[in-house]
Amino acid sequence: MKPWEVILQRACTASGLNSSEWEQIAASVRERAFFSAEVTSTKILEEMKANVVAMLKDGKSASEIRRDLRTMLFGEGYQPDEQWEGTIKDLRTKARLDIIIKTNTDQAKGYARLVRDTRAGAILAFPAYRFVRRQNRKAQRDWATRWANAAKAVNYEGVAKNGEMIALKTSPIWETLSRFGTPYLPFDYNSGMGLQDVKKSYCREIGLLGEDEQPKVPKLPDFNEGLKK
């Protein structure tokens, strides 16, 4: 599945929920929804979704997307509450639009990557990921502590115990680590963290797999599995 197809499958879900409230919704529901905190207009969401698809499929730039979305918002008569003008709650701001664009494109790419990385051949060669910093951030989250807490929470199931942030791709740590409750990148907003494939021989060397143990090949659920008709 291509990243843009992941976005296409999401249903625009307008609501007055803020981001904290959205985080209380089950991950399985959020994964299938295209939403943005406190956006109650389906039309606005449809335009945002179309632009995210255009970026993933056709390489439309973030600058063009922001320009076009601002034009659309103006046309729709969008006006934020006066107290929120110019802040991240104002849909017209670069900060807000960039969060929408980046989070959705990164999630689509993350999901598509996980699908390919867990195919039989890929898992047999690279059964695990190493959680690594890829891009610097001015304010970096304490991922080492978050990792340790997540590892304890899942009782180290599929998690390396040698101090490295390595876990099998099938380990429940990934969902637990994620702010979004999903087992794929990104694991938080604009985190700068990424994944590095870890080969099977190294997994055996650090005891993540037994000497002759083969990794399990997961069956990722169909995108709409579990949905009631």
Partner 1 sequence: MKLKLKIKDPERKLLGNEDVMMQAASAGVKALLREHLEQKHQGTAPNRYGLPKSNYYSEAAKHVESEVNGKRVTVEVDYPGIALHYDGGTVYPKKKALAVPINPAVAGIWPSEYGREMFVVWPKGKKTGLLVGADANDEDRIGHALYLLLPKANIPEDKSVLPTDEQVLNAAEAAIWEALS
Q: For binding to partner 1 (CB under 8 A), which residues are involved?
A: 2, 59, 61-64, 66-67, 70, 94, 106, 109, 112-113, 116-117, 119-122, 124-126, 134-136, 194, 196-197, 199-201
Quote the DSSP letter at residue 10.
S
| Residue with Cβ nearer partner 1 (116 or 229) | 116
Q: At its nearest, how many Å lie between partner 1 and the CB of residue 113? A: 8
| Residue with Cβ nearer partner 1 (28 or 196) | 196
Contacts 24+ apart (CB under 8 A), 40-47: 40/14, 40/15, 40/16, 41/14, 41/76, 41/78, 42/12, 42/14, 43/76, 44/14, 44/72, 44/73, 44/76, 44/78, 44/91, 45/12, 45/13, 45/14, 46/12, 47/72
Q: At its nearest, how many Å lie between partner 1 and the CB of residue 150? A: 23
| Residue with Cβ nearer partner 1 (30 or 200) | 200
- 59 conformational bin, left if phi > 0, alpha if psi -120 to 50, beta if neither: left
| Residue with Cβ nearer partner 1 (81 or 197) | 197
Q: At its nearest, how many Å lie between partner 1 and the CB of residue 129? A: 10
Q: At its nearest, how many Å lie between partner 1 and the CB of residue 160? A: 17
Quote the DSSP letter at residue 69.
H
| Residue with Cβ nearer partner 1 (136 or 145) | 136
Question: For the chain, how far is it from start to end, CA to CA, in angstroms?
Answer: 23
Q: At its nearest, how many Å lie between partner 1 and the CB of residue 219? A: 15
